[in-house]
Structure 1
Amino acid sequence: MRKNAVLIVAIIAIAAVLGLRVAVNEMSGVSPPFTVVDSQSMQHSHDSEVGIIDTGDMILLRDTSKHEPVTYVEGYSSGYRMFGEYGDVIVYERPGQNQVIHRAILYLESNGDGTFTGRGLESYTGKWSCHDSGTDTSNPSEPSKLSGTLEMENIGYGGKKVSIDLSVLSGSGYLTMGDNADTNGYFDQGSGITSGLVTDDRVKATAWKEIPWAGSVKLIMNGNDGALNSWAPSSLGYLTAALATIFMTIIGIGFALDALHLRKALKGGH
């Protein structure tokens, strides 16, 4: 009886997981609907934190047709936050290289004359400036005619000050950056992570939900456990505890069902 109860609970759990997978695929619109984080570039500390993108996390993705990315600048004005900071985190492609999962900071629209419009800068109350040939165009001046060097201050939890020479950019797209204040102190476009703005066609998805530590197993199987040991040493312990909790919950439900069946049998015997 006890084994049967546990088996029933296990079957129900497996069915629930399969049903959840189908639902996630439908809501995500991306195939596969998840990615595993294998670097420290989005971490806010050396320890793994729920709600922050850490090494070893599995991140569920959402197609941009279902949710258009909100930049840090736009999120700062509206209060919209994801994964511990303003704005959305996007997954973008790099030709011949691994995909990158970093935060969208600002969308620059080319005006076709060498200048850019910074989308959302007109209502952004954070500190920024744009210097061109010695001229300082500071907020809330013309965010629709940006040229020269764009500077932004107090970005993210680490209060980073970042800048980019707009003359090396062309077209329209996102300025992006990892959250980690220790390892990612520059825009991706100024640190060699990617060349040029992240155009709309390079954005694969937005980061949607975090499944903490769930990607740790994949990193270990791929021989990348060094990343876990270096940047999220607590991940394996948390993952083990989570799996043990799930297992014990299934066993506990099985015992509860067994006790319920026994009680009914005793009542029936009287």
Structure 2
Amino acid sequence: MDPEDRPPATDDAVESTNGACDTDTDTDTIDDTDTDTDTIDDTEDPEAFVGDPDGGDRDGPVADVNPDRSEDGLLKRFRRDNEGPLMWLREMLSSVAIVLLLGLILFGVSGVWPPMVAVESGSMEPNMEVGDLVFVTEPGRFAPDAADNDIGVVTYENGQAADYRTFGTYGSVVIYQPPGRTASPIIHRAMFHVDEGENWYERADRRLHNADDCEELRNCPAPHDGFITLGDNNGQYDQANGLSEPVKADWVTGVARLRVPYLGYVRLIATGQAKPSDLISVSTGVEPRELGTESTSPLIDRSESTPGTMIGTERTGFSLRFDSSTVAVHG
């Protein structure tokens, strides 16, 4: 058929053609939209959201999934709470830390552990009382010029010559533990030093033993080198009444330096060696126990008191609000 004989295109055909073109155009537009969507997906960073990192619901509230944040909150409560279990735990730990710190400081100064001992008997009265807490140093530390030995102990004899006094009278007060003794260590005054085999009867104060000669006096002649010791409130030497042989230097575990009234009752009450009523009684000036007859020991001068000593039921000195590790000692 010749082209001239062909029928003219109808409007329907034109519209169909235009529709096809429109469809293609729309398709391109949809493809562009898809491309834009893909672009948005590519720019998303899951780690930029605090929430579900696997692509969960990111439009909801942000969850507190950071464990450090929870720990910070607990730590802040522990530091700032003024009531409740965290407050009690904080106060308890603080108290323990303070006591340990003070104990370490005292240990650094004294060189012995424990650096304090609690007096449990009255054999050193009135210069040391039951319930006193006594600060001690290792033998040889802070040795005075009057000491003539390696452990820094000044005997009563040498103290008289040098006018060296501790705890109310001449000489050093030592803490010693004889071999085989299972009871508490002993805290008594060093009176004089003897050599092995020495007849020390003539050097002894006859008021402090009941012997007529060396043969009747216990530990005479001296079985070895050592100190003759005495409780200030006792009527006999420790070596005369059989409490101990002459005290060797290596039996001495410490030298008494300072005492704190009453504070030793903390340990004595905790170990059952004293009752709370005992502390109440002595603090109010009423002794809870009978002291017996007044001591005739020549070491005790009841006519005057010295700072830090006790006369009768009156106690002088100072008190502290803390305690450290202690052991009880037999006065």
Inter-partner Cα distance in structure 2 for 1:106 and 1:235: 35
One-letter amino acid of the structure 2 residue matched with residue 169 of structure 1: A
**Residue in 2 aligned with 1:27?**
109
Offset from partner CA, 1:36-92 (integer Å, 9 cap, x none): 110001012xxxxxxx31100111111113131111111111111111111110000
Retained in 2: the 8 A contact 1:105–1:174?
Answer: yes
One of 192, 195, 202 as aligned partner of 2:242: 192
Deviation string, structure 1 residues 173-195 (Cα, Å, up to 9, x no partner): 00000011xxx10000011211x
Per-residue Cα deviation, 1:112-158 (whole angstroms, up to 9, x for no partner) = xx33xxxxxxxxxxxxxxxxxxxxxxxxxxxxxx55554326xxxxx
**CA–CA distance in 1 between the matches of 2:110 and 2:221?**
35
In the other structure, the counterpart of 1:130 is none
Change (3 A) 1:209 1:147: closer
Gaps of 5+ in 1: 4-10, 45-51, 116-145, 154-160, 248-270
Q: Contact 1:107/1:174 (CA < 8 Å) preserved in 2?
A: yes
Q: Is the 8 A contact 2:195 2:222 kept in 1?
A: no
With over 3 angstroms needed to count, the CA separation of the structure-2 counterparts of 1:108 and 1:221, relative to structure 1, is same
Q: Which runs of 5+ in 2 are unaligned?
A: 1-81, 83-92, 144-151, 212-216, 286-314, 323-331
Preserved CA contact (<8 Å) 1:54 1:232: no
**CA offset at residue 236 of structure 1?**
7.4
Could you tell me how far apart the structure 2 residues matched to 1:106 and 1:227 are?
38
Counterpart-to-counterpart distance in 1, 2:201 and 2:319: 50
Q: How many Å separate the matches in 2 of 1:15 and 1:186?
A: 44
Larger Rg: 2
Q: What pairs up with 1:149-164 in 2 under 5 angstroms?
A: 149-152=202-205, 161-163=207-209
* Corresponding residue for residue 82 of structure 1: 166
Which has the higher relative contact order, 1 or 2, with Cα contacts under 8 A spaced 6 or more apart?
Answer: 1
Q: How does 1:11-50 map to 2 (within 5 A)?
A: 19-44=101-126
Match for 2:116: what amino acid? F
Query: Which residue in the other structure is 2:182 paired with?
Result: 97
RMSD (CA atoms): 3.7
Number of positions where the alignment pairs a residue of Structure 1 with one of Structure 2: 188
Contact 2:263 2:319 in 1 (8 A): no
Measured against aligned partners, the alpha-carbon deviations of 1:160-214 in whole angstroms (never above 9, x if no partner) come to x22473634211100000011xxx10000011211x2000111111011112111
Residue 213 of structure 1 aligns to a residue in which SS? Answer: coil
Shift of 1:101: 0.3
TM-score, L = length of structure 1: 0.58
Change (3 A) 1:25 1:188: same
CA deviation vs aligned residue, 1:15-40 (integer Å, no higher than 9, x gap): 77655433211110111111111000
- 2:109 maps to 1:56: no
Distance 1:96 1:15, change over 3 A: closer
Structure 1 residue aligned with 2:251: 202
| Matches for 1:1-270 after TM superposition, within 5 Å | 19-44=101-126, 52-66=127-141, 67=143, 68-94=152-178, 95-98=180-183, 99-110=185-196, 114-115=197-198, 146=199, 148-152=201-205, 161-163=207-209, 165=217, 167-180=220-233, 184-194=234-244, 196-225=245-274, 229=278, 233-235=281-283
Q: Pick closer, same or farther for the CA change 1:202–1:221 going to 2, 3 Å.
A: same
Residue in 2 that maps onto 1:141: none
Match of 2:26 in 1: none
What is the TM-score normalised by the length of structure 2? 0.48
Paired residue secondary structure (2:253): strand
On the 8 A contact 1:55/1:232 being kept in 2, the answer is no
Distance 1:74 1:17, change over 3 A: same
Change (3 A) 1:19 1:217: closer
Indicate the SS of the match to 1:234: helix
- Partners in 1 of 2:275 and 2:130 — Cα distance? 11
CA distance in 1, matches of 2:103, 2:236: 37
Relative distance call for 1:226 and 1:77 in structure 2 (3 A) is farther
